[in-house]
Amino acid sequence: MATLARLQSRSAVIGNQYYFRNSVVDQFRKRENDAAIKIQSWFRGCKVRAYIRYLHKRVTIIQKWWRSYLGRQHYQLMVKIAYYTTKMNLYNTMAVRIQRRWRGYRIRKYFFNYYYLKEYLRAVSEANDAVREALADFSQTKEREEEKAKLEEEEKKRDYQARKMHYLLSTKQIPGIYNSPFRKKPDPWELRLQKAKPLTHKVPKVKQKSAINLDSWLACTSTRSFPRSEILPPINRKQSQGPFRDITEVLQQRYKPLERTLWMAEPIDELKEAREALRREEWVHNINDNMFLPFSSYHKNEKYIPSIRSSSKYRADSYGHQHFRDENPKKWINGKGFQTVLSSFDLFSNYGKLYSKAGQIV
């Protein structure tokens, strides 16, 4: 009982000591915990860094081997390309040398062969001589033909002149001018006049007058007014002297078809029809049929009806409301409207505004 009483009297002191010791232990525990955490973080960092260094070494070894493999492959490719390039250069050089030898042989044998050229020039000269002889013979023949034709033309002219001057031929009683008695021999023209025939003038043929064709003026008449009849043969008689008209013209004037009078040719209401046609033509070119009355309130209460050439926010419509850019909200799938696409000018202007605002803020 004494011990219990003593413990009960000391319970408050024990409680205070317990609280004090627990608070001190908690403070030391937090410091120890922070120190342990720091030690663990340092050790784990060292461990991770050591593992990373190990990985770096292994990666470096792998990269070294891979790059060495790629370098060997590239070197082998370069060697192969150099080998084939050298080979092709050698082949090209040999081909050029062969072509040079062959072309020299071909030129010397076929083009600049002395004996071949000598034979060719000899054949050409012989052919030229033959052509010259043929051309000379042809030119001489042509000259002879031209001289012969000229002589024949002159002979024809002399014969015509002799026939024309046949009246100058001498007779037994009267000698001509070309047969002078003072000459021992007659003139050659005298002999030509004796051989030639006198020139006679051709008698012009009298042209018969063509028959009068009555089909032209009979065609303009009708069967009822002027019945057709058989055309009589023309009378070959001498035309009467005087200013008489041709019979066809007289008959055409006599049987001319009737012409409509002014009252029949033009209708009575011609002026009215002309005005109606003018009004229709003006109506075709008008856009609006209503008359425009300036400075008045005549159209004040009328509802505005847009014309065919209406415009939208995109551009002017060219053929009414059936344009493919017209907006019809009833056919929209979504209730939200379409967003207009900005042009390049609008984009640049928006960028300029943003830059100006940024400058003001700074």
pLDDT for residue 244 is more than 60: yes
Task: Classify residue 145: in a domain, yes or no.
Answer: yes
Range of the domain at 170: 165-200
242 is a domain residue? no
Please give the pLDDT value at position 39. Answer: 94
Q: Phi first, then psi: what are they for 27, rounded to 5°? A: -65, -45
**Chain segment 169-227, per-residue pLDDT in tens:** 888 777 777 887 777 777 888 888 888 888 776 666 655 555 445 455 445 454 444 45
CB 177 within 8 A of CB 168: yes
Kindly provide the b/e burial profile for residues 138-171, where b requires at least 16 CB atoms within 10 angstroms of the residue's own CB.
eeeeeeeeeeeeeeeeeeeeeeeebeebbeebbe
Domain boundary among 44, 77, 109: 109
48 and 84 fall within a common domain: yes
Q: Mind listing the pLDDT tens digit for each residue in 141-158? A: 999 999 999 999 999 998
Residues 27 and 104 reside in one and the same domain: yes
Q: Is 151 within a domain?
A: yes
Same structural domain for residues 27 and 91? yes
Burial readout 296-327 (b: 16 or more C-beta within 10 A, e: otherwise): eeeeeeeeeeeeeeeeeeeeebeeeeeeeeee
83 & 152 share domain: no
Identify which has the larger pLDDT, 306 or 31: 31
Q: What is the pLDDT of residue 91?
A: 96
Q: Against a cut of 0.85, is the pTM above it? A: no
In a domain? residue 220: no
Q: Is residue 299 in some structural domain? A: no
Confidence of residue 238 (pLDDT cuts 50, 70, 90): low
Top pLDDT among 344 and 92 is at: 92
Same domain, 77 and 29: yes
Asked whether residue 52 is domain-assigned, the answer is yes
Residue 83 placed within a domain = yes
Q: Is 228 inside a domain boundary?
A: no
Q: Do residues 60 and 86 both lie within one domain?
A: yes
The domain tally of the chain equals 3
The pLDDT tens digits of the residues spanning 11-43 come to 777 777 777 777 777 778 888 888 999 999 999
Give the count of beta carbons closer than 10 Å to the beta carbon of residue 194: 13
